[in-house]
Amino acid sequence: MTLPSLTKLLLKAKKEKNLSFEDLGNLINRDEVWVASLFYGQATASEEEATSLIAALDLASDLKEDLSTPPVKGCLDPVIPTDPLIYRFYEIMQVYGLPMKDVIQEKFGDGIMSAIDFSIEVDKVEDPKGDRVLVKMCGKFLPYKKW
C-alpha cells in the first residue's frame, strides 16, 4: 500500500518532534486513535484542531485545508491486507465475524453497528505470559428499517 503524501508528511513530522498520537490527542482533546485516523486520511479536523496540530508539528499553515476537508473514507485497496497486524483483524472478522453478528442481532435485533457514531480505544494489558492488546469498539446500533 502506498501512503498518501500528506500521511507521509504528518508521520515524518510526528517522528521528528518525538510526539506520540497520545501526545497530539491530548493537545486537541481527541483520542489517539482518532488522531491516527486523521493522519491516515480517515477523519476530518476542525480548523482549530488543524491549526494546533500544524503548530505542534511545525508544518506549513496551508495544510490546514487538507486536514479539515472531509476525506474519502475506507479507501484501502479491496484486497486481503498484507500487513501482519491489519491482516489479523481481517482474520478475526473471518473467524468471528458471523458469530459476532449473530450475538449482536440476538441482543439488539436486525441491524448494524454504526461506524459513524463510533469510538475505538486501544489499551495495553500487562500479562506475565505476554502483554495483551485490548481493543474496545463502541458504535451506535442502527436497526434496519422496514417499509
Give residues with Cβ within 8 angstroms of 134, minimum separation 6: 121, 122, 123, 124, 125
Domains defined for the chain, CATH in brackets? 5-68 (1.10.260.40), 84-143 (3.30.1160.10)
Q: What is the pTM of this model?
A: 0.76
**Would you say residue 135 has pLDDT above 70?**
yes
Q: Residue 18 has what pLDDT? A: 97
> Would you name the residues annotated as active-site residues?
88, 91, 114
Q: How confident is the model at residue 42 (pLDDT cuts 50, 70, 90)?
A: confident
- Residue 67 C-beta-side C-alpha neighbours within 13 Å: 26
Average pLDDT over residues 53-81: 87
Give the C-alpha separation, 128 to 126, whole Å. Answer: 7
Which value, in Å, is the radius of gyration of the alpha carbons in the chain?
Answer: 18
What is the distance between the alpha carbons of residues 63 and 51, in angstroms, rounded to a whole number?
A: 9
Q: For the segment 73-124, what is each residue's pLDDT rounded down to a tens digit?
A: 776 666 788 889 989 999 998 878 878 998 899 899 999 999 999 999 999 9
> How far is it, in rounded angstroms, from Cα 11 to Cα 59?
12
84 and 59 Cβ atoms separated by less than 8 Å: no
**What CA–CA distance (Å, rounded) separates 108 from 106?**
6
Q: 112: which strand partners?
A: 142
Question: Which range is least confidently modeled, 17-26, 29-38, 58-67, 76-85?
Answer: 76-85
Res 78: pLDDT: 66
